[in-house]
Amino acid sequence: MDDDALKLGRLWKNTSHDGKPYLSGVCCTDTLDQAVTLLRAGGRFLILANGHKREGKRDPDCELYVVPARGSGGG
């Protein structure tokens, strides 16, 4: 993954009352200001499955990152 990627949060898979899937999560407040700056410069979101999820634990299903816009030197 890009060295310029900022971890913005963690996401969990859920199902609504009418059976529709959705993701909900929490932000990593320590990188929030940097992530907003990167998004304002054309950055984009990247959602990756959590490869370290342990059965029976409350580990997130996915991780949310902000990465630089394509062609801006970040990949």
Q: What percentage of the chain exceeds 90 in pLDDT?
A: 75
Residue 72 lies in a domain: no
Helix ranges (DSSP H) in the chain? 32-40
Residue 40: pLDDT band with limits 50, 70, 90? very high
Residue 46 lies in a domain: yes
Residue 21 lies in a domain: yes
The predicted model gives 39-44 an average pLDDT of 96
By residue range, what is the domain housing residue 60? 6-67
pTM for the complete prediction? 0.81
Cβ partners under 8 Å of residue 5, min gap 6: 46, 65, 66, 67
Residue 56: pLDDT band with limits 50, 70, 90? confident
